[in-house]
């Protein structure tokens, strides 16, 4: 405010002097003085404006490079120097923070890639360079799909469904398996995080191979033992009482172990990535009629089982795997539904999707157990599961079959009133 008054007082002083000269020397000399004063003021401002423009055009905008000023311009340049100094300090703090962030991300065991709104590489750390075969100095500004060209990654990026990670086997570095997760942030930017999971995948493969091998090796001796137990149980010479009861229990447990081995082998086949699904058109109606016969045999007349067909659509998939998934849901309904209970098997088309569901009037499931039902060997009541002959693997098998058929499982239940297990198949699989 003082600068404004100073500039105003200068102009007023010139006007006063010009008025005095007018009264003493006349109008001509007063106008000459007034014009000269105005010209000097114009020259003064133009000179400082030129100096300011030259400074703005320079690459060096440090406070020391700001030109010296005179009069009101001295204050202007002083304010400018203070602003530049504050800006330089802010830039230094930002640079330090950025450098610190880069050092932290470079030290992380995971790969980090920053992508812009059109998936171009803005920055990445060294781990990401190793995982994805890119080089920041050469590939900055390039589309990530130009460098990582594997079809699953391109589809993952295009789908924009980033809730779950993508497991990718790198072709450039044989044996390397990475997990990729995209995290949107800021304004249309994305963070691509890569993690080396080779060791965990090898451990998982060893676990699957171990289960498959052990299950395969146990199947033959169990079959032999089961055969001899059946023979002994049918022998009339075996004393009644304890021996008969012992043979019956051994036969029952051997049968249960055989079912467990078969389920473990089925899971191993489903988990094997090299075991590709053998797809063909599956006549769902015919398949459900066959499964209905098996269900009635298992129920032995203890339940009312109904088959409701509301669609004639066929499914693209593996008939063997679908029969296993449907059969597991139906057998569970039979096991956990009391005698004289009702079970309905349904096939219909809803909103363009295929819908198979099993509805029962059984004991029901408490809500906290539902999210874990598809875990292996997860049992709500272990004693109940043993009594009904369950292995604890049925719903895990269902989950793997549905994953291979791009389907999803929905479970709704109410304790004491029954449960409903629904399988939704995408419209693309309907024929």
Question: Is 137 within 8 Å of 152 (Cβ atoms)?
Answer: no
Q: What is the pLDDT of residue 69?
A: 76
Tens of pLDDT along the chain (431 residues)? 445 445 545 667 777 777 877 778 778 777 887 788 888 888 878 888 888 888 888 777 777 777 887 777 777 888 888 888 888 888 888 888 777 777 776 777 889 899 998 899 998 888 888 888 899 889 999 999 888 888 889 888 888 888 888 988 876 667 788 999 998 887 788 899 999 988 887 777 777 777 777 777 777 777 777 777 777 777 666 666 667 777 777 777 777 777 778 877 787 777 776 677 888 999 999 999 999 999 999 999 999 999 999 999 999 999 999 999 999 999 999 988 999 999 999 999 999 999 999 999 998 999 989 988 888 877 776 555 555 556 778 899 999 999 999 999 999 999 989 999 999 999 999 98
Supply the pLDDT for residue 387.
55
At residue 318, the pLDDT reads: 93
| pLDDT attached to residue 1 | 45
Whose CA is closest to 247, among 260, 235, 261, 259? Answer: 235
How does DSSP classify residue 239? P
Cα–Cα dist 339/65, whole Å: 95
Residue with token string 């009339």: 236
**DSSP, residue by residue, 13-63:** HHHHHHHHHHHHH-HHHHHHHHHHHHHHHHHHHHHHHHHHHHHHHSS---G
Give pTM, 2 decimals. 0.55
Alpha helix locations (H) across 235-347? 242-271, 284-299, 319-335
pLDDT at 329 (0 to 100): 95
pLDDT for the residue 236 = 66
């Amino acid at each position: 405010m003082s600068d404004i008054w100073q500039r105003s007082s200068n102009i007023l002083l010139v006007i006063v002097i010009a008025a005095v000269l007018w009264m003493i020397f006349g109008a001509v000399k007063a106008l000459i003085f007034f014009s000269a004063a105005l010209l000097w003021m114009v020259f003064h401002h133009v000179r400082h404006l030129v100096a300011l423009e030259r400074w703005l055009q320079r690459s060096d905008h440090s406070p020391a490079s700001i030109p010296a000023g005179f009069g009101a311009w001295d204050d202007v340049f002083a304010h400018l120097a203070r602003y530049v100094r504050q800006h330089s300090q802010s830039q230094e703090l930002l640079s330090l923070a950025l450098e610190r962030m880069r050092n932290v991300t470079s030290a992380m065991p995971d790969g980090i890639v920053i992508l812009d709104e059109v998936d171009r590489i803005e920055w990445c750390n060294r781990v990401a360079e190793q995982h994805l075969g890119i080089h920041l100095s050469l590939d900055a500004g390039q589309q990530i799909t130009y460098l990582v060209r594997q079809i699953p990654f391109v589809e993952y990026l295009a789908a924009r469904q980033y809730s779950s990670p993508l497991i990718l086997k790198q072709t450039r570095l044989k044996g390397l398996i990475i997990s990729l997760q995209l995290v949107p942030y800021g304004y249309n930017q994305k963070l691509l995080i890569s993690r080396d999971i080779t060791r965990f995948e090898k451990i998982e493969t060893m676990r699957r191979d171990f289960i498959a091998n052990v299950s395969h090796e146990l199947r033959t001796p169990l079959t032999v033992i089961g055969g001899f137990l059946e023979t002994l149980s049918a022998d009339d010479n075996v004393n009644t009482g304890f021996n008969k009861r012992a043979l019956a229990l051994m036969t029952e447990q051997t049968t249960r172990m055989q079912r467990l081995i078969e389920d473990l082998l089925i899971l191993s086949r489903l988990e094997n990535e090299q075991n590709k699904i053998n797809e063909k058109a599956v006549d769902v109606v015919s398949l459900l009629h066959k499964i209905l016969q098996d269900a009635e045999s298992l129920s032995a007349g203890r339940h009312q089982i109904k088959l409701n067909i509301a669609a004639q659509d066929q499914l693209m998939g593996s008939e063997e795997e679908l029969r296993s998934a449907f059969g597991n849901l139906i057998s569970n309904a039979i096991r956990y539904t009391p005698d004289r209970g009702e079970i309905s098997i349904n096939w219909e088309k809803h909103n363009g999707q295929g819908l198979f569901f099993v509805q029962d009037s059984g004991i029901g499931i408490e809500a906290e157990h539902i999210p874990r039902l598809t875990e292996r060997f997860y049992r709500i009541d272990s004693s109940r599961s043993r009594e009904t002959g369950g292995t604890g693997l049925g719903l895990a098998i269902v989950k793997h079959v549905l994953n291979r058929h791009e389907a999803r499982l929905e479970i709704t239940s109410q304790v004491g009133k029954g449960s409903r297990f629904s399988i939704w198949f995408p419209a693309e699989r309907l024929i």
